[in-house]
Chain A
Amino acid sequence: MSAMQMSWAAGGMTRRGFLTAGAAVGGGLLLSATWPMRRGFAQGASPAGDAAKAGDPGQAVDGAQPVTLYARISPTGLVTILAPNPEMGQGTKTALPMIFAEELDVAWKDVVIEMADYLGGKMGSQSSGGSFSTPGAWLPLRQAGAAGRQMLISAAAMRWAVPAAECSAAESVVRHASSGRALTYGELAQSASRLPVPEPGAVVLKSESAFKIIGRSVVDPDKARIVVGRQPFGIDVKVPGMKYAVFQKGPVFDAEVESANVDEVKSSPGVSHVLIFKGARRTLEGGAGHSAPGIDDALRGGVAIVADTWWRAQKARGKLRVRWNEGAHAGDSTPSFDARAHALFAQPAQQEVRVDGDPERALAGAAQVIRAAYSYPFIAHVPMEPQNCVAAYRDGRVEIWAPTQNPGAGRRAVAAALGIEPEHITIHMIRCGGGFGRRLANDYMIEAASISREIGAPVKVLWAREDEIQHDFYRPGGYHNLAAGLDGAGKLVAWRNHFVGFARGEQFARLAVPRAGDFPAGFVPNYALRTSKIAFGVPLGPLRAPGDNAHAWVFQSFLDEIARAAGRDPIELQLELLAAPLPGEGDGHGGSAIAPGFMAARMIAVLERVRDMSGWAGRHRLPAGTGLGAACYWSHLGYVAQVHQVSVHRDGTIAPDAVWAAVDVGGVIVNPTNAENQVQGAILDGISAALGQEITFDRGRVVQSNYHDYTLLRNARIPRMDVQFVKTDYPPTGLGEPAYPSALPALCNAIHAACGQRVRKLPLKAAGLKV
Chain B
Amino acid sequence: MSYTIEVNGVKHRVDAEGDTPLLWVLRDILELTGTKYGCGVGLCGACTVHANGEAVRSCMLPLEQVGESSITTIEAIGETRLGRRVQQKWLALDVPQCGYCQGGQIMAATALLARTPRPREADIDAAMSGNLCRCGCYTRIRTAIRHLAESHEA
- Chain B proximity mask over A659-681: 1 for CB below 8 Å, otherwise 0: 00000000000000110011011
Within 8 A of B (CB), among A350-387: 382-386
Of the candidates A315, A432, A715, the one whose C-beta lies within 8 Å of that of B98 is A432
Closest to A314 in B: B40
Closest to A714 in B: B129
Interface flag for B53 (CB, 8 Å)? no
Cα–Cα, bound, A215→B19 (Å): 52
Interface flag for B134 (CB, 8 Å)? yes
Asked if A224 and B134 make an inter-chain contact with CB atoms under 8 angstroms apart, the answer reads no
Of the candidates A269, A434, A462, A674, the one whose C-beta lies within 8 Å of that of B94 is A674
Given A227-B102, A465-B40: A384 touches B132 (CB 8 Å cut-off): yes
Asked if A233 and B100 make an inter-chain contact with CB atoms under 8 angstroms apart, the answer reads yes
Within 8 A of A (CB), among B3-42: 16-17, 19-21, 24, 27-29, 31-41
Within 8 A of A (CB), among B128-152: 128-142
Interface flag for A464 (CB, 8 Å)? yes
Asked if A310 and B91 make an inter-chain contact with CB atoms under 8 angstroms apart, the answer reads no
Asked if A677 and B140 make an inter-chain contact with CB atoms under 8 angstroms apart, the answer reads yes
The minimal Cβ–Cβ distance linking B69 to chain A, given in whole angstroms, is 19
How many residues from A make CB contacts under 8 Å with B? Answer: 63
Asked if B134 and A434 make an inter-chain contact with CB atoms under 8 angstroms apart, the answer reads yes
Cα–Cα, bound, A720→B73 (Å): 31
Asked if B96 and A229 make an inter-chain contact with CB atoms under 8 angstroms apart, the answer reads no
Cα–Cα, bound, A219→B92 (Å): 8
Of the candidates A315, A384, A464, A682, the one whose C-beta lies within 8 Å of that of B101 is A384
Asked if A707 and B44 make an inter-chain contact with CB atoms under 8 angstroms apart, the answer reads yes
Interface flag for A3 (CB, 8 Å)? no
Cα–Cα, bound, A180→B33 (Å): 52
Closest to B122 in A: A716
Of the candidates B34, B78, B137, the one whose C-beta lies within 8 Å of that of A677 is B137
Within 8 A of A (CB), among B97-128: 97-103, 106, 124-126, 128
Q: Kindly list chain A residues whose C-beta atoms are within 8 Å of the C-beta of B16.
A: 309, 311
Q: Kindly list chain A residues whose C-beta atoms are within 8 Å of the C-beta of B21.
A: 311
Asked if A715 and B134 make an inter-chain contact with CB atoms under 8 angstroms apart, the answer reads no
Of the candidates A384, A432, A435, the one whose C-beta lies within 8 Å of that of B36 is A384
Interface flag for B55 (CB, 8 Å)? no
Q: Kindly list chain A residues whose C-beta atoms are within 8 Å of the C-beta of B38.
A: 384-386, 465
Q: Kindly list chain B residues whose C-beta atoms are within 8 Å of the C-beta of A706.
A: 39-41, 43
Asked if B129 and A680 make an inter-chain contact with CB atoms under 8 angstroms apart, the answer reads no
Interface flag for A683 (CB, 8 Å)? yes
Asked if A229 and B73 make an inter-chain contact with CB atoms under 8 angstroms apart, the answer reads yes
Interface flag for A231 (CB, 8 Å)? yes
Asked if B37 and A462 make an inter-chain contact with CB atoms under 8 angstroms apart, the answer reads yes
Within 8 A of B (CB), among A469-513: none
Asked if B99 and A715 make an inter-chain contact with CB atoms under 8 angstroms apart, the answer reads no
Asked if A231 and B28 make an inter-chain contact with CB atoms under 8 angstroms apart, the answer reads no
Given A228-B75, A706-B39, A715-B125: A433 touches B34 (CB 8 Å cut-off): no
Q: Kindly list chain A residues whose C-beta atoms are within 8 Å of the C-beta of B142.
A: 715, 718
- Chain B proximity mask over A212-236: 1 for CB below 8 Å, otherwise 0: 0000010100111011111111011
Interface flag for A431 (CB, 8 Å)? yes
Cα–Cα, bound, A186→B132 (Å): 45
Cα–Cα, bound, A706→B78 (Å): 32
Closest to B126 in A: A716
Interface flag for B56 (CB, 8 Å)? no
Q: Kindly list chain B residues whose C-beta atoms are within 8 Å of the C-beta of A677.
A: 94, 97, 135, 137, 140
The minimal Cβ–Cβ distance linking A729 to chain B, given in whole angstroms, is 28
Interface flag for A554 (CB, 8 Å)? no
Given A228-B75, A309-B28: A684 touches B94 (CB 8 Å cut-off): no
Residues of B within 8 A of A (CB): 16-17, 19-21, 24, 27-29, 31-41, 43-44, 46, 73-75, 78, 87-88, 90-91, 94, 96-103, 106, 124-126, 128-142
